[in-house]
Amino acid sequence: MEIQQSYPPSALPWGGDQEVFAVLDNEGHASASKDPRLPLALVKRIYETMLRGRIIDERLMKLQRQGRIGFHVGAEGEEAAIVASAAAMEPQDWLAPCYREVAAALYRGLPLQTYIDNMYGNADDTCLGRQMPDHVTARDQRYVSVTAPIGTQITQAVGLAWASKLKREDVVSAAYFGDGATSSNDFHAAMNFAGVFKTPCLFLLRNNGWAISVPADRQTASRTYADKGIAYGVPAVRCDGNDALAVYATVSAARARAAAGEGPTLIELVTYRLGPHTTSDDPTVYRDKAEVEEHAKADPIVRLRKYLEHQGAWTTEDEQRFTAEAQAELKGCIDKAENTPEPSIASMFEDVYATMPAHLAEQQRQCVEGPRAKKKH
């Protein structure tokens, strides 16, 4: 499968500029002409990571409601766009996430315990409690630290791509962001720079229908989000983000273009956010239940499971076994995280200077030795 450099959109390989490339229907049947025919072992790994992510999200939502963690950003309904795209990249490639893509890091081998420790901000948290929950970083997995401001990761991904191009490395970067981030300054700056200098990067735009409570049709007057590539000379395609096979095929082709020196690609992954924006959000205030139920018919996990079942590669017993194992692992990680102490007060002063200056050391000593507020104050 090839993504052409040419524009206008009518020159795209999958038909007109409004077409959304898809392989699977809602019953998990693959189009014979579009099926990338991936090895079943790879498809199973993608599916298991998607299912694992859903299980984790459901549990973390309950933990937040119980007051055991402070915050969570789920990815219910967007698992295919996240996991299949990560699977299509190479291990040396950089992923620049927003805050909903931790399953991509888990696919790459991030230990679940590391992620759960971040959710609690305990002493074993990589960030030592200095970041919000879900703002994880994973250098070993080439997963850039999450930042809260909208769109900042997009320019970071282009910077990483520019560096790899200057170094002549076979490294491509991918930026994950939502439809709302297309209104940020960083999106426009990144697209412009990438288009001019043909940086080896992918813009993975997850159009999930809502930027918190702002619907997509109030976010832009463009016919499609893919159209936003026109002004910057960046080829763009639309892909069914709930179809793991379509996502993999599209991202793999775009990755090959970038590695061959043909520049960036904007990929509009058309998906839907089945759950709330975060645990602080109540989507029933701004969208109809019927809308959610309609989109749930295209649940990416259900579609890929049916595909595997059609191939004789997944059974009810497999589902039950994997679910039980994932839940048991998650419970163990939660128990350990809840029994790990908080970061020390002294750690607040660390990681600022290579060698701590005298004035900061004095402030650290005074803080550690000074009076402390009562627990739960």
Catalytic positions:
273, 277, 286
Pairing of strands 210-211, 214-215: antiparallel
Burial of 86 (0-12, 13-18, 19+ CB in 10 A): buried
3-class secondary-structure state, position 214: strand
Tokens 């009518």 locate to 10
272 secondary structure, DSSP code? -
Q: Please give the order of strands across the beta sheet that includes 173-178.
A: 94-96, 173-178, 201-207, 265-270, 236-240
C-alpha to C-alpha distance for 237 and 79, rounded to whole angstroms: 19
Name the amino acid, one letter, at 274: L
Helices 40-65 and 244-259: crossing angle, nearest 10°? 110
C-alpha to C-alpha distance for 58 and 51, rounded to whole angstroms: 11
